[in-house]
Structure 1
Amino acid sequence: MYLAENLKFLREQRGKTQQELAKLFGVEQKTLSSWECGSRTPAIGMIVEMAKYYEVSLDDLVLTDMKPPIPVYALNIAYLRKKYGMTQQELVEIVGLKHKSSISLIEAGKYEPSIEKLEKLADFFGVTMDQIVKQDLSQEVSE
């Protein structure tokens, strides 16, 4: 079941806080938090209400992983950074980002870098754009 993960994902997609949704659904914030972490499950009536609010089917809300997969480029950036023993801060400076958290968000697949930033990364690590975007570089064969 994917209910807990989907509730958190959908709330974040809407840009809402737990407090805002708790108020909307007439529950305490800690109750909503327990639903999102999976330690408690809402009653079926509440699940129906939330499905209506998010405009998704009950099947999707409960049975489908609604989070998109982490893009290949995100996995590759994390892999290459670690392979070369770099910190996120070092990569931030090379790419020209403002905050260390930017690399963290990119590696988690939560922030999409510009083409220019991807080009800088590909060039720095000596890989092509096709490789960084399409291939799982962690599976490369050592020679």
Structure 2
Amino acid sequence: MAENLRKYRERKGITQKQLADHLGVRDNTISSWEKGTNSIDISTLLNICNFLEINLDDIYGISDKKISPVELTEDELALISNFRKLSHDNKMKVLGMVELKAAEDV
């Protein structure tokens, strides 16, 4: 998390001092968070996320997925939405069909 805090702060072009001023803490507090020597309470962490315009998944490094929803087409989003509505058995049937069709296209 410490590395991500630094990464997102720098991406936004925010200095440690600017973040410290926003949070009402000393500059060296930000440094200690980014080094991982001190922990951040959740309310402060949420404040940081709001200030940097990121979410907790970003700060904890959870959002590094192979495909982000932003990269999906409308057809793909519709497919996922409808797929989630299916029963487990029907999901398995659809997956089998998709695998067969994909193999035909290779």
Question: Which residue of the partner structure matches residue 42 of structure 1?
Answer: 40
Q: Distance in 2 between matches of 1:50 and 1:57?
A: 9
Partner of 1:58: 56
Q: Which residue of 2 aligns with 1:4?
A: 2
Q: What's the secondary structure of 2:37's corresponding residue? A: coil
- Structure 1 stretches of 4+ with a deviation exceeding 2 A read 63-66
SS at match of 1:64: coil
2:25 matched to which residue of 1?
A: 27
Shift in Å, 1:13: 0.9
Pairwise CA distance, 1:15:
1.4
Query: Kindly, what percent of the aligned residue pairs are identical?
Result: 38
Shift of 1:19: 1.0
Q: For the residues of structure 1 that align with 2:63 and 2:57, how far apart are their CA atoms?
A: 10
Write the letter of the residue equivalent to 2:34: E
Query: Is the CA contact (8 Å cut-off) linking 2:57 and 2:63 kept in structure 1?
Result: no
Tell me the residue number matched to 1:77.
none
Q: 1:1-143 counterparts in 2 under 5 A?
A: 3-64=1-62
Native 8 Å contact 1:18 1:29 kept in 2: yes
Structure 1 residue 60 displacement after superposition: 2.1
> What stretches of structure 1 of length at least 5 have no aligned partner?
67-143
Aligned 8 A contact 1:6 1:65 in 2: no
57-66 or 26-35, which deviates more: 57-66
For 2:61 and 2:25, the matched residues in 1 are separated by 24
Question: Which one-letter code corresponds to 2:32 in the other structure?
Answer: S
Could you list the runs of 5+ residues in structure 2 that have no partner in the other structure?
Answer: 65-106
Output the aligned Cα RMSD. Answer: 1.7
Residue of structure 2 equivalent to 1:100: none
The answer (yes or no) to whether the contact 1:51–1:61 under 8 Å persists in 2 is yes
In the TM superposition, what is the alpha-carbon distance from 1:65 to its structure 2 partner?
7.3
Of stretches 12-21 and 22-31 in structure 1, the one that deviates more from structure 2 is 12-21
